[in-house]
Structure formats: structure tokens, C-alpha cells
Amino acid sequence: MTFSDRFPSDRTLVRGRVLSFKRRPQRAGDTDAYTYLEDGVIVIDAGKVTDVIDASEIGRVGGKGVVLHDFSGKLILPGFIDTHIHFPQTQVIASYGEQLLEWLTRYTFPAESRYGDPAFAAAQARFFIDELLRNGTTTAVCYGSVHKGAAEALLTESERRGTAMFVGKTAMDRNAPPDVLDTAQSAYDDTASLITAWHGRGRQKVVITPRFAITSTPEQLEALGNLARAHPDCLVQTHLSENLEEIATVERLFPERSDYLDVYDHYGLVGPKSLMGHAIHLTPREIVRMSESGAVAVFCPTSNLFIGSGLFDYKGLEGEPYPVRIALATDVGGGTSYSMLATAAEAYKVMQLRGQKLSAIEAFHLMTRGNAEALGEPDLGRIEPGAHADLVVLDSTARPAMAHRLAAGNCDLEEELFVLMTLGGEQNVQEVFIGGQPQGLHRADE
């Protein structure tokens, strides 16, 4: 519907059950950690949230030309944020039978070699962002391939859509086939030129991305460390202690370093802007250093289970006396789902196997505000004045099994969220808004 009185405006209103987190929940039932309006209206001007009000007050924000998207009864959350995903692995996902190092050699490196073709990379970028949006993910931190052009293709597509993406050209100069190798110098030059052209251009950001210590020479890690020092506002992403064979290989390649994390630390790649993928098999010293440095351990449960890497120690890392910052991610294509809901379900199961609990509100906080904080992005992952109006609209009853489960009666919000993460996925995403613009997953009433 369109309001027809008072003042002209390009204001947008989105109505529904609005949920947004204020801080990290301490436990299930920590209702002070979030705001929830059973019938709320998000007021959006120029792509940003300007107010969140009760629907009873809708008259005061309407006006000529104001468009209302009415999702009454549906849950509206900040768009999900995926903090670790591989753009060139959309045709690697669900590859059979190997653990990390063989999986890379047999499936991943051949697939990534195709991204040297710019037209191929551009077509894949369109699919990739479509797939993220279908799953309610509006921002992702992405590994590209070794090719600068592939990173440019993804950044270009993201700019066209208006999404906020973090993209790295993956650097690797040894222990892989020649067609996916760069050099220390070219990794530095290509990443530096991407930063100049793209970092902070609109909503796009560039991530300094050494794949991991096995595929980077000391010279390359040093070059990228220098780049990180020169650009302290850029995120750094890499992989850390995912697999025992990987760790043993790193120890052989860097015998002078005290442990795996110390390799990255030595080259200036460990700090509060560092996203360390996996971080499963950490030593006590590494945990202390992760905590002190403010680096983020990125939990990728579907990948850790699928590649058989191990069980992330969420509560062990989160706890005192050396709390480590934690983010949640899919790690497609080692991961098996683009859905952050499905990812949260597997996180819950990994934690069960460790005798730990992940409450639904902790999980939904992680997918939204928690992950935004891991990226140092205060205007993402929340629905409050000043935040980007990137939203996901969820229908908890989209699957018969879920509707049936919820019909059992007296489900409160947290129980509904737990059903959503345990049984839910792409089919529950009814619509996504990017900067206040619906993306057409669903034809909203206007």
C-alpha cells in the first residue's frame, strides 16, 4: 500500500515481528540482550534505518509516496552475515571422500583455476550473490581465487546489487598447481591495487587474504604483513589449525616458529582485524595469544564435520581467563550449506558433542550483530537508527514439518528461533532487503 497524505517522501516502511540484538546473550532466556516488537515497523530513509516503532504509531511515519512492505506475522531480522566463504568453491561443495589437504588438491585447486577467465568469474559472481540472498545472507567475507580479476568480478557484482561484501584475492605462492599460484610480489601488488580501487568504494571492502601458511612462502607472508600494517583498517583472513596433518606440515615448513599462530604473528598478521578460519586444535599458548591480540576464531561447523577436521571448542574459547572473540561462518565449499540457519544447527550439534550448549538467541546474535562486531562494522547486523537497512524476512512455517512442530502450542520466541535454526534453511527466507530495497524473492503487497 502507499500512504497518500501529508508529505512527499521516498521513505520505506517494513512491518512485521522485528527482532534485533543489543548485546551478546549470556544464556537462553536472556531477554535483555535483544529488542523484539510483535508488531513493529522499521522506518527506512535513504537505505538506512531511521526508526523502529510499534505498528500502532504507523500513522506518524506515513505520508505521500511512502511505501509499506507488510510482512505482519513474519520475523524480520538483520540480514545474516557469513564471515568465511569461498567464492570460487560453488562447484566444489559436496565433493566426496577427502580430508583437508587431499580435498584441496583433488577438488579445490582445479576448480579455482577456472576463475582466471573473467567472463566465467563474472557469471559465477552473479550466482554466488543470488545464492547468498536466497539464504538471507546480505554480507559475506569472501575468499576469492588467486586471480585478481575474480575478486574484481565479485566486487563489481556486489556494487551493482548494493550489497556490502568483503572480498580478498587469495594469495598462494607454493604447494599448489602453477595455474593457481602467484608470487610474493604479485600478491602484494594485486592486493594493494584492489585496496586502492575498491576498499571503501561504496559498500565494498578488500580483505588481505593469505590462504594459509602451507601455500605461502615466508616472503609472501612478510609482504602481506607489510600491507596489513600499511592498511590497518583492512581485515586479514586466513586459515588456522583446521586439521592435524595441516598443523604438522606447518611445523615442518616453519620450524623456527613456536606454533601455527606464531607463523602469522611473526609476519604481523594477527590482531583485532584478523579472522582466523577454524582454529580447532589450538595450544594453550595460542589461545592466550588469540585472546590478547583480539583476533577472531571463525567457527565453521558444517565444514569441520564434512571434512572431518574436528570439534570447535566454543565454550572453551569463549570463557575466562582468556576469552577469544568468535564468529560463525559457512565455509562453503568445505561447508555444506549456504544457510546460516543450517550452519547454526550444526554448530549446536558440534557443541553437543563437546557437552556444550548453544542457545537459539546466542546463535541468532552470532549470525547478525555478533558477526558484524567480529568484522568491526557497527552499522551492520542490527535494526536500529543509523544501521544499513539490510534485512531478512523469515517465515517459520514455510515447511510443513516446521508448521506442524510449531503448532504443538505455546511456542515462545526463543523456541521458535530454535526450531528455525534446527529445521530451517533457504525455504524459510521469504524476502531480503538490501539498503531498504526488496530483492524480489517475494512479491510484497504495495
Interface residues with Zn ion (CB under 5 A) are 277, 331
Least distance in angstroms from the C-beta of 330 to Zn ion: 9
In the bound state with Zn ion, the residue whose beta carbon lies nearer, of 331 and 346, is 331
Residue 84 beta carbon to Zn ion: minimum distance, rounded to whole angstroms: 6
Instruction: Using alpha carbons, list the distances in angstroms from residue 358 to 135, 306, 308, 313.
Output: 21, 20, 21, 12
Nearest approach in angstroms of CB 299 to Zn ion is 12
Q: Which residue is nearest to Zn ion (CB)?
A: 331
Residue indicated by cell numbers 607463523: 263
Comparison of 52 and 214: residue with beta carbon closer to Zn ion: 214
In the numeric block, the cell 575478486 is attached to 151
- For Zn ion, the closer CB: 42 or 307: 307
Please, which residue, 68 or 154, has the CB nearer to Zn ion? 154
CA-based nearest residue to 390, from 329, 424, 337, 438: 438
Shortest distance (Å) from residue 333 CB to Zn ion = 9
C-alpha cell at 143: 575468499
Q: Please, which residue, 19 or 224, has the CB nearer to Zn ion?
A: 224
What residues are paired with 218 via a beta bridge? none
Which of 152, 331 has the CB closer to Zn ion? 331
Report whether 196 contacts 157 (CB < 8 A): no
CB of 86 to Zn ion, least distance (A): 6
For residue 286, the minimal CB distance to Zn ion (Å) is 18
**b/e for 258-293, b at 16 or more Cβ within 10 A?**
ebbbbbbbbbbbbeebbbbbbbbbbeeebbebbbeb
- In angstroms, give the least distance from the CB of 326 to Zn ion: 16
Q: Which residue, 17 or 239, is less far from Zn ion as judged by CB?
A: 239
Contacts of 430 (CB under 8 A, 6+ apart): 71, 74, 393, 394, 395, 398, 441, 442
Please identify, using beta-carbon distances, which residue of 12 and 135 lies nearer to Zn ion.
Answer: 135
- Residue in this structure with the C-alpha cell 515481528, named with its chain if needed: 17
Q: How far is the CB of 281 from Zn ion (least distance, A)?
A: 15
Residues 6 or more apart from 342 whose CB is under 8 A from it? 302, 421, 424, 425
How far apart, in whole angstroms, are the C-alpha atoms of residue 339 and residue 353? 22
CB 18 within 8 A of CB 78: no
